[in-house]
Structure 1
Amino acid sequence: MHRASLPGDGLPDVVIRGENGTIDGQGGIWWNMWRQGNLPFTRPNLVEFMNSRGIIISNVIFKNSPFWNIPPVYCSNVVIRYVTILAPTDSPNTDGIDPDSSSNVCIEDSFISTGDDLVAVKSGWDEYGIGYGRPSSHITIRRVTGSSPFAGIAVGSETSGGVEHVLAENIVIYNSGIGVNIKTNIGRGGFIKNITVSPVFMENVRTGIKIASHPAITR
C-alpha cells in the first residue's frame, strides 16, 4: 500500500486543528489509475494514524482523498469533530472516517459527502484481525450529516477482530444508497454486538437498514 499523505505511527497526543483550512489529497489521478488497472498497490489514505493515542482532529476540510480519508488504526482516545470531508460521488473507496481496531473514538458535528461509506467501523484486514484480537469498541458517532451512493453509517465489512459498543445518534443521511449497513464477508469471522443507532433521519435513501454477510449484496 502507498504511504498516506499524513501518516503517523506510535504517536501520543496528536492534534490536527485548523480554521477550516483545506487538505486536498488530489485523488483524481489515483482514481483514474485505479480505473485503468494501472496500480500494483492499494491507493494511499489521506490521514492515517496507527498505534497512537490522544488524537484530536477538528475544524479542517478534507477533500479528494485517493482512498479512505481518516482511518485511525490500532488507536485509542480519538476525537474527530467539526470536520468536512468531500469527494465526488463517483470517486472509488473514498470512505470518510473508518476507525479500525480502535477504542474510545468520538466522531461528531461533521459533514461528509463522498463516494463510499461516510463512517465505517472496521476491525482487521480480511481474516488477520482474528489473530491480532483487537476489536473496535466504544465508538460514538453523533450529529453527523452527509450523503453517499453507499452507506451513511456502516459496520464492516472488515470485522475479523470484532466490533462492539457502537453508538450512532442524531445522524442525518440524504441522497444515499443505504442508511445503516452492517456487513461482513466470507472467511472474516469476528463478532458484531451492542450496536445502537437512534435517532437517524433519512431522506431519499434507497435502503434504510441492511444486514448482509457479503458486501457485494449491499451494493
Structure 2
Amino acid sequence: MTRPSIIAHSARTAALCLPQPGALYRLKSRTVWRLSSPDETGVLQHGEAQTVVTLLHELRPATRYLFEVEGFQPLSFQTAPCAGVVEATDFGLVADIAPDDIEGARSNAAALCEAVAAVPTGGTLHLGPGLWTSFPLRLKSQMTLHLAEGATLQAPSVRAGWPVLPSHDHNGRMLGSWEGLPAACFNAPVNAVQADNLVIEGRGVFDGSGDRGDWWSWPKETRDGARRPRGLHLINCRDVALLGFTIRNAPSWTIHPQGCARLTAAGLTIVAPADSPNTDGFNPESCREVVIAGVRFSVGDDCIAVKAGKRGPNGEADHLAETRGVRVSHCLMERGHGGLVIGSEMSGGVVDVSVEDCEMIGTDRGLRLKTRRGRGGSITNIVMRRVLLDGVETALSANAHYHCDADGHDDWVQCREPAVVNSGTPLIDGVIIEDVEIRGLAHAAGAFLGLPEAPIRNVRIRRLKITSSNPAAVATPPIMADRVRAMRHETIVSERAEVDCDDPSLLSAAPVSLPFDEMLS
C-alpha cells in the first residue's frame, strides 16, 4: 500500500495527496478516512475522500494527528502552532451591506485593516460566516487569513474610491502590471506585497464582483488611470499557502502570483463565467517553486497561464525575471481557453514546468505554448504526463507566430521567411508528452509552428492515444497565427519544428500554413 503525502499544512488545515494508481482529479471510488490523535481518545473526524487531493479542515494547532484511509498506509503529521486568533468582527465589521454601498465597503475595509494589524506574528485572522463587502484587503507577513465555511468576502460593485496600485514602488521595483509590463492597476480585492509565511485558507468564498460592476466591459482599456484588478494578487511574496477556498468572479486574472517563491495552492475552486474576459484562473509570473495541486477550474480564459513578463516596445527588460519550477498535478480544468498555457508573456524565460495526472474537459486547448518575434526569452523543459483531454479542440500546440498585441498581424511578426536572430527572438526547446489520452478530438491532436530562424526543437511524444473524434467538429485553424489552414480531426502537424513521436502514423505530412498564393486569394 502507498502512503498519503502532505502537500501543505497550517495550524488548522492540511492538504493531503492520496496517490491512487490511475486516479487523476478524482479517486476511482469514494474512500473512507478517519482522523485521530495520539494525544486524545477516539476518532476526532471522519469522512469520505472523493478527490486525490483531500483537505482536512478545523484542525487544532500544534497537535499530532494520525490519518487513516482505506487502501493506504497510515500517515502521521503535526499541525503548526498558532500565536493567537483575532476575530474580524471585533473591529466593527458590518455584514450584508449592499455591493454598491461605497461608505459601507470603505468602513469594512478600515475595520479589516485594523484587524490585520492586530494579528500577532504567527497568528490568525478569522472571518466567520456572513456576507462581508469590503474594498481591498492587504495581508501581511507571518499571518493566516482563515475564511470560515459560510463566509463570503465580497468586493464592492463600484469603482469610485477604489485604491490604485502604482506600477513601481519607491525603489523602482515593479508592483502593478498588465500583460507582462509595469502599469498602474486597481488593487486586487485581496492582496499582499512582500509578505512572507502567509497562509490563506478555509472553506469560504472570495468574490471579486466582476459580474456586478463594469469591469468586464473594458477588458483591454485603462480607466481612471489604471488597469483592471486581479482577484488575488501576491507580489514578491515568499512561502505562501493557499488552501481550500473558492474564488470567483475576478475582475480580470483570478489569482496572480508575481515575483513569488515557494507558493503552494491546493484544493481550491476557481470559477468565472465562460464569457468573462481575461478571467484566467491561476497565472504565476516570474515565480519559482510553485505547486498547484487538486484545483478545480472553470473560467473565461486560460485555466493556468505561466508567464515571465513581456519585453517592452523599446526592448525594456529591467522588469523581467524567470519562472522556474512549476508543478501542476491532479487538477480539473472543466472549461477555459487552455488547460496549461505558457506565454505569450515569457520574455524572462520559462523553465521546468510539468502538468501531470490532470483532467482537461471542454477546454479549447490542452497544453499550449505561445510566443512571437519581439518576445525574446525561452520556453524549455516542459512536461505533460498522464493527462486526459476530453472534448479539447486542439490538444497540444506550440505557436511562435502568435498574433497578439497591436502589431501581431504585421509582416515582421507573421513572415515565414527567416529573420535576424537577436534579443527579441524567442526559443522553444524541450517538450515531453507521455501517456496522454485524447477523446472527442475536434481540430488537431498537435499543432507545432516554429520560427524559420529558431525552429521548435526536441518535442518528444510517447504513448499518445486518440480514442475518439468529435463528429460535429467544424474545420478551424488550431492555433492563432496568420496563414494557418483550417483543420478537422488532424493528428500531429508541424512546420519548423522537430517532433519525435513513437507512433509515426500520428505524424501528418500536411502543412500547417496555407501556401502564400492561396492566402492572397
TM-score by length of 1: 0.93
Is the CA contact 1:85–1:96 (under 8 Å) kept in the aligned structure 2? yes
1:199 counterpart SS class: strand
For 2:288 and 2:316, locate their aligned partners in 1 and report how far apart those are by CA, in whole Å: 15
Does 2:444 align with 1:182? no
Residue 22 of structure 1, aligned match among 192, 202, 205 = 205
Cα-to-partner distance string for 1:130-187 (whole Å, 9 max, x where unaligned): 4345210011000110123410100011101000011110110011110111011331
Q: Distance in 1 between matches of 2:231 and 2:336?
A: 20
Cα shift at 1:129: 7.9
Aligned to 1:51: 236
Q: In the alignment, is residue 167 of structure 1 matched against residue 351 of structure 2?
A: no
Question: 3-state SS of the aligned residue for 1:198?
Answer: strand
1:34 paired to 2:218: yes
Structure 2 CA distance for aligned equivalents of residues 171 and 61 of structure 1: 19
Task: Name the residue aligned to 2:454.
Answer: none
Separation (CA, whole Å) in 2 of partners of 1:36 and 1:139: 28
Does residue 64 in structure 1 map to residue 249 in structure 2? yes
* Aligned counterpart for 1:98 among listed residues 258, 283, 287: 283
Q: Write the distance in 2 (CA, Å) between the matches of 1:163 and 1:209.
A: 18
Q: Call closer, same or farther: CA 1:35–1:164 in 2, change over 3 Å.
A: closer
- One-letter code aligned to 2:480: T
- Structure 2 counterparts to residues 113-192 of structure 1, below 5 A: 113-127=298-312, 130-192=317-379
The residue aligned with 1:218 is 480
Instruction: Please state which structure has a larger fraction of its residues in strand.
Output: 1
Q: Which runs of 5+ in 1 are unaligned?
A: none
Pick closer, same or farther for the CA change 1:52–1:207 going to 2, 3 Å. Answer: same
> Does the C-alpha gap of structure 1 residues 148 and 30 become closer, same or farther in structure 2, counting only changes over 3 Å?
farther
Q: C-alpha separation between the residues in 2 aligned to 1:190 and 1:10?
A: 26
The letter for the 1-side match of 2:241 is I
Shift of the 190–61 alpha-carbon distance from structure 1 to 2, 3 Å rule, reads same
Q: How many residues align structurally? A: 218
Any unmatched runs of 5+ in structure 2? Answer: 1-184, 405-478, 482-521
The one-letter code matched in structure 2 to 1:74 is G
> 2: CA distance between counterparts of 1:165 and 1:3?
30
Equivalence for 2:30: none
Identity across the alignment (%): 31
Change in 2 beyond 3 A, CA 1:37/1:47: closer
Separation of aligned partners in 2, 1:36 and 1:71:
17
- What is the one-letter code of the residue matched to 2:242? I
Higher relative contact order (CA 8 A, sep 6+): 1
* Residue aligned with 2:218, SS: helix
Contact 2:298 2:336 in 1 (8 A): no
Aligned to 2:462: none
CA contact (8 A) 1:64 1:86 kept: yes
Q: Indicate whether 1:81 and 2:241 are aligned.
A: no
Distance (Å, rounded) in 1 between the aligned partners of 2:241 and 2:216:
32
* Contact persistence 1:176–1:206 (CA under 8 A): yes
TM-aligned CA distance change 1:21 to 1:194, over 3 Å: same
Report the aligned-residue RMSD.
2.0
**Residues 149 and 11 of structure 1: CA distance in aligned 2, closer, same or farther (over 3 Å):** closer
Distance in structure 2 (CA, Å) of the matches to 1:76 and 1:129: 24
Quickly say closer, same or farther: Cα 1:53–1:36, change in 2 above 3 A.
closer
Distance 1:32 1:161, change over 3 A: closer
Q: 1:215 to 1:205 in 2, by over 3 A?
A: farther
- 2:216–2:251 CA contact under 8 A, matched in 1: no
The residue type equivalent to 2:217 in the other structure is M
1 CA distance for matches of 2:316 and 2:194?
19
Contact 1:111 1:145 in 2 (8 A): yes
The offset of 1:36, in angstroms, is 10
Question: How far 1:38 sits from its partner (Å)?
Answer: 7.7
